[in-house]
Amino acid sequence: MPTTRGLVQSIKLDPGFRTGPNQPDFCYVFIGPSPTNTTVFGISFGSPTDPTDGRSLYFASVVEALSGALFARREVEVNDDTTIGLIDGLRVLPG
């Protein structure tokens, strides 16, 4: 499980409706030393039809933490799935 460390440069949120019915919401996170030097990671929010779905709430919290790191200019470490770059772990490093 690769770990990547860097600054969150930007976040893009895509509702599932954009990709088709009953598709999960999706988030793209751009991490790297500068806005022009980033790696993109993905977060899938799980079931869009069940907003109480714990998995959905968990990943929404991960995105909020990434957003907090973005605007506080704090470095993060993310663990991602080796095949498709989906984030499955996050650590916001001390400022």
Partner 1 sequence: MAEFTAVGDAIHNDFFVVTGSSFADDLQLLFETAVGTVTVAPNVVRPQLAFVAQLPASVPTGRHWLRLRHGGTTTERIPVEVTAGPPYTVCVLYSGRPKPSPYTIVFVANPAIESQAGDTFNADPVLTNRAGYHSAVAYCLQNILRETEDLLRAGGTDAQMRFVSVFDATLAAQQENALAHEVSPNIMETPFNRLGVLASFLTRFHEVADVVFVLHGSTTHTRASAWFTRDDNSRPTVPFTYDGVARQHGRFSSIPGSCAIPVTEDTTAMTALHEFGHAASDFNNGRVVDLYVNGTAGGFMANKKFRAQATDPVPANFATYNGTNYNSDPNRDALGYPATWTSYHPQPIDATRPNLMDNFFLSFDTPLRCRLDQLTYAWMRDRLLAKLGR
Q: Given candidates 1, 2, 36, 71, which one binds partner 1 under the rule CB under 8 A?
A: 71
Q: How far apart are CA 79 and CA 9, in angstroms?
A: 17
DSSP string, 82-94: TTT-BEEEEEEPP
Q: How far apart are CA 8 and CA 17, in angstroms?
A: 26
Using the minimum distance from each CB to partner 1, give the nearer residue, 27 or 78. 27
Is 76 an interacting residue with respect to partner 1 (CB under 8 A)?
Answer: no
Is 77 an interacting residue with respect to partner 1 (CB under 8 A)?
Answer: no
Q: Given candidates 24, 41, 70, 80, which one binds partner 1 under the rule CB under 8 A?
A: 70
Residue 61's CB: how many other CB atoms inside 10 A?
Answer: 11
Residues in contact with partner 1, shown as a per-residue x/- string from 11 to 50 under the rule CB under 8 A: xxxxx-xx--xx----x--------------------xxx
Task: Report residue 40 as tokens.
Answer: 């993109």
Q: How far apart are CA 74 and CA 76, in angstroms?
A: 7
* Site residues for partner 1 per CB under 8 A: 8-15, 17-18, 21-22, 27, 48-52, 60, 63-64, 66-68, 70-71, 73
